[in-house]
Amino acid sequence: MKFAVISDIHSNFMALENALCVIDEMRRTGQGVDGIIFLGDYLTDFPYPQNTLRLLDECIAEFPCHFVRGNREDYLIRHRYNPEDGWSYTSSSGSLLYTYENLTASDLDRLEAMPICLDVNKKSLPTITACHGSPKNNKEWIMNRPQLIDRYTTEIAGEVLLCGHTHRGGVVEANGRRVIFCPSIGLPQDRNHGSRMLILESRRGVWRYRSVTVGYDKHKMLTEFHRSGLYEKAGVWAKCIIKSMFDEHDHAARCVALAWRIAAADGFAGGQVLPEKYWIAAATELGLI
């Protein structure tokens, strides 16, 4: 039994499409997977989210697929029920609003129906528990947090816990279980460079994994940022994502943190939406613009 594990697509349909081509090539050479486990954060940040959803539909038609919901999907769902939350075409929320406006009601229904945690049971093989952040909270970060890892490995049904969210690969063992962190296919930020997915295979009753690197044309994707209008609509955030696409560092997190520090030093206390001038000041200091 063999699964492909894909996490954190972030609407990067080019990386996803090439990953699916690799999976298809494996099938043609007799090394095919028996299903695909998706670990959330399918959308936001890259252009044309409908392309990603189309590819996911193609996966469902070809393979048994298992989906969990990421925190990015939760942002979109919350906006559905609270459209007066202040989203606008600025650096703070332009990428989210662009994604939301390119989705249909049935797309949102589909995302909302996904669980944040599920168990994958196959025949007599050890159970796999899959989640995005943690089994209880899809925004929770458990990598390098031993107390949380100890807690969740005593609570889950699976002998393996698959997690996304970190955009980094890794593995840790606790309480007789393995926690495997899946790197990002869409927006990697790992010391092992490249868009990556995992191949999880049962050998003698034990789940073992290997990493597969997938390439795509980043300059072509840059063209799509401009063609789609996302480059203008998401402001500094789009520039952070583009730079991260090329060098695989988390520029968005650095820029957000610095922008809030600049705002605090300026006496800003206006709520959750950060004025554009602080984004621009932070991006300028970091050399992003």
pLDDT in tens, 86-109: 999 999 999 999 999 999 999 999
What pLDDT sits at residue 143? 98
Question: Quick one: pLDDT at residue 175?
Answer: 98
Beta carbons of 207 and 160 less than 8 angstroms apart: yes
Give the tens place of pLDDT for each residue, 144-187.
999 999 999 999 999 999 999 999 999 999 999 999 999 999 99
Q: Give me the residues paired with residue 206 across strands.
A: 203
| Amino acid 26: pLDDT | 92
What is the pLDDT, as a whole number, of residue 260? 96
Please state whether the predicted TM-score (pTM) of the whole model is above 0.85.
Answer: yes
Which domains occur in the chain, in start order?
2-214 (3.60.21.10)
Hunting for tokens 């959330």 — which residue is that?
40
Which uninterrupted H or E stretch holds 128?
strand 128-131
- Identity of the amino acid at 37: I
Q: Rounded to the nearest 5°, which phi and psi values hold at 206?
A: -125, 135
Flag residues of the chain having pLDDT under 50: none
> How many angstroms separate the CA atoms of 38 and 5, rounded?
6
According to the model, what pLDDT value does residue 84 have? Answer: 94
pLDDT number for residue 283 = 98
Specify the pLDDT at position 280: 98
For residue 257, the model assigns a pLDDT of: 97
Q: What is the pLDDT of residue 7?
A: 98
By DSSP bridging, strand 2-6 and strand 195-203 are antiparallel
Using CB atoms within 10 Å of the CB of residue 70, give its burial: 0 to 12 exposed, 13 to 18 middle, 19+ buried: buried
Decide: residue 163, CB within 10 A, 0-12 exposed, 13-18 middle, 19+ buried: buried
